[in-house]
């Protein structure tokens, strides 16, 4: 194991941190791996909360263990070939077409792992679709990968073929029918609602947790808390932008999304939110050297203690928060096993803020690059507030923002927060379209990845302006969310569009995310105009490529954020890009005036 980590660290980390030798990095990585494995075993066996999380572990090791040494891949490859795990590479196109020797095949497996570690896997897939597929970005591919299933000491590692599903009809059909997940997220999220492979357990968890996200019975009740926090968010931005100082809107938006989640949805005290917010964001993004060790696990312990205090009297408001968070109530009454409770809380804290924070950042990025559209949205926002006659908006008022709705939809198309889409396992044999458009048989148990990135940017589906921000494009009625009305709970989706995944295993928190997006953007666009700060101002007229990593692009670390052009490659060691987006904030004069 030590030799494997040493070999990989030499490949990925050519310049170790000045304060650490390579031997120290390897030793620490191995120690952290052992502790994390033991923690998960104790959680499953006795319910003891872990002293570290998957994100703490990845941050501490700088993702060293995500790439397997070739010497360890060879026996996995031989075993997979003997078991038929690579058979689909013979009937579907993909990069295996050019991998002939065992060394080339092992190198390809490493290339897939490295792309995941660097956050470039969806661009890698799109490039392979264009190179090997005969149907462009609609091509379904066969891509062998190293897959892990299980958690703790029960993790099983093998090489298997994952079918990348990009054909829109195949994507919608398979998502609807095959709801079983493939188990790859259990190491991080245990048996949470998003990661469990047990369909019965998934349905039971989802049925209970859904109550917290019902638009009228839940979200409408926390709208005052959400709007008040959004108003203070605008005040904080005004202070941060004093004197024309550029503001990292990626970090700002992620902070506010986490604040909304903790204050409104979980009902946590504001002082607790302020004490844990920054380190939680750093751990989720895996920036090495920027955190105390196991800072996220420490934050989780504090949050769990606060939730336990709320359990004592669910009828009283939380300390420092006037409305009881609906998600706290359902978590406290769900009677989940400890591993499921822990996994769901970790999932909510990560996916519940990262997805929304990145979407808001990308929306501001596109509005800054399209100032005429930004002005039109601001005019709509001004009309919205004039129509309130001085009162705060309620949940139903959010239905009166048609252009903002379209801008959010177009942002979710161009920059899907979950660009990976969803990972499933076929519950029975099925088919997908092959290179010539004819059906190819897939056996039961096949791993599939229904990817969003290339499908959302496919010019054959969306037109030649597929890479352009155009909120006026001809969306289908089912693709635009209907927030604030009786249709608010309907998942925005179509065969070509699934930012929250297709139903029935769609994103549990999408209704809260849709409300949060609008509440925060209303307050910011009412008060400010946004433009790109150097060096991002060079992107005003540039085209964003679906595949080219040599230019500005999204970094897909489970969720997709903007590449930090100032600091890319300047992590403590290695060359993993960081996330950031600096903007110039201009205070609007007399917004909403006559």
Tell me the DSSP string of 78-120.
HHHHHHTTTGGGGTS-SGGGG--SHHHHHHHHHHHHHHHHHT-
What's the DSSP call for residue 218?
I
Q: How many CB atoms lie within 10 A of CB 437?
A: 10
* Residue 291 CA: distances (Å) to CA of 52, 76, 139, 586: 13, 35, 41, 32
**How many whole angstroms separate alpha carbon 445 and alpha carbon 17?**
43
187/247 Cα distance (integer angstroms):
35
**Nearest residue to 163 (alpha-carbon basis) of 552, 516, 358, 434:** 434
Length of the chain: 594
Backbone dihedral angles phi then psi of residue 111, each to the nearest 5 degrees: -60, -40
**How many angstroms separate the Cα of 79 from the Cα of each of 4, 68, 145, 169, 183?**
20, 16, 13, 34, 20
485 is in an annotated binding site: no
The two beta strands, 247-248 and 582-587, are: antiparallel
Can you tell me the distance from the alpha carbon of 388 to that of 586, in angstroms, rounded to the nearest whole number? 25
User: Across-strand partners of 146?
Assistant: 159
| Of the candidates 306, 336, 300, the residue with the CA atom closest to the CA atom of residue 206 | 336
Q: How far is the CA of 379 from the CAs of 253, 480, 593, in angstroms?
A: 22, 20, 10
Give the pair of three-digit tokens for residue 439. Answer: 């059906």
Residues 224 and 323: beta-carbon distance below 8 Å: yes
Torsions phi, psi of 197, nearest 5? -95, 0
Annotated binding site for heme: 507
Annotated binding site: 507
């Amino acid at each position: 194991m030590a030799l494997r980590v040493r070999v990989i660290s030499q490949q990925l980390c050519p310049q170790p941190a000045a304060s650490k030798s390579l031997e120290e990095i390897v030793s620490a990585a191995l120690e952290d791996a052992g502790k994390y494995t033991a923690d998960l075993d104790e959680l499953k066996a006795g319910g003891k909360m872990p002293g570290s999380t998957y994100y703490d572990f990845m941050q501490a090791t700088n993702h060293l263990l995500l790439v397997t040494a070739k010497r360890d891949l060879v026996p996995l490859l031989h075993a997979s070939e003997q078991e038929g795990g690579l058979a689909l590479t013979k009937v579907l196109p993909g990069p295996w077409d050019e991998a002939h020797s065992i060394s080339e095949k092992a190198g390809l497996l490493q290339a897939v792992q490295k792309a995941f570690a660097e956050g470039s896997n969806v661009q890698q897939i799109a490039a392979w679709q264009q190179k090997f597929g005969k149907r462009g970005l609609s091509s379904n591919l066969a891509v062998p990968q190293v897959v892990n299933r299980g958690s703790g000491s029960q993790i099983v590692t093998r090489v298997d073929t994952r079918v990348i599903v990009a054909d829109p009809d195949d994507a919608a059909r398979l998502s609807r029918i095959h709801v079983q997940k493939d188990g790859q997220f259990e190491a991080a999220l245990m048996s949470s609602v998003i990661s469990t492979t047990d369909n019965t357990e998934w349905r039971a968890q989802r049925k209970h947790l859904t109550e917290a996200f019902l638009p009228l019975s839940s979200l409408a009740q926390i709208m005052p808390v959400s709007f008040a926090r959004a108003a203070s968010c605008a005040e904080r931005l005004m202070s941060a932008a004093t004197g024309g100082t550029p503001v990292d809107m990626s970090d700002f938006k992620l902070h506010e999304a986490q604040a909304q989640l903790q204050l409104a949805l979980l009902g946590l005290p504001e002082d607790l939110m302020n004490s844990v917010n920054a380190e939680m964001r750093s751990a989720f993004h895996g920036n090495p050297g920027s955190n105390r060790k196991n800072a996220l696990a420490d934050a989780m312990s504090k949050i769990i203690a606060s939730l336990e205090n709320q359990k004592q009297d669910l009828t009283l408001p939380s300390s420092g928060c006037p409305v009881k968070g609906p998600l706290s109530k359902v978590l406290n009454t769900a009677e989940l096993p400890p591993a499921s409770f822990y996994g769901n809380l970790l999932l909510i804290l990560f996916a519940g803020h990262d997805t929304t924070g990145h979407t808001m950042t990308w929306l501001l990025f596109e509005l800054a690059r399209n100032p005429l559209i930004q002005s039109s949205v601001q005019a709509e926002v001004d009309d919205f507030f004039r129509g309130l006659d001085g009162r705060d908006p309620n949940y139903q008022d959010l239905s009166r923002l048609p252009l903002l709705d379209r801008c959010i939809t177009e942002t979710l198309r161009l920059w899907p927060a979950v660009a990976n889409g969803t990972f499933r396992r076929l519950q029975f044999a099925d088919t997908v379209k092959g290179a010539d458009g004819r059906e190819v048989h897939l056996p039961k148990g096949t791993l599939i990845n229904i990817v969003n990135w290339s499908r959302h940017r496919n010019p054959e589906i969306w037109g030649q302006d597929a890479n352009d921000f155009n909120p006026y494009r001809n969306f289908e009625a089912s693709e635009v969310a209907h927030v604030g009305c009786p249709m608010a709970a309907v998942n925005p989706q179509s065969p070509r569009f699934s930012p929250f995944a297709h139903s029935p295993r769609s994103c549990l928190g999408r209704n809260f995310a849709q409300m949060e997006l609008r509440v925060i953007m209303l307050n910011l666009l009412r008060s400010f105009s946004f433009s790109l700060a150097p060096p991002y101002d060079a992107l005003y007229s540039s085209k964003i490529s679906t595949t080219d990593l040599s230019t500005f692009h999204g970094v897909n670390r489970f969720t997709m954020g903007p590449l930090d052009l100032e600091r890319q490659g300047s992590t403590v060691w290695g060359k993993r890009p960081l996330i950031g987006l600096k903007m110039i904030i201009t205070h609007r004069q007399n917004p909403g005036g006559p």
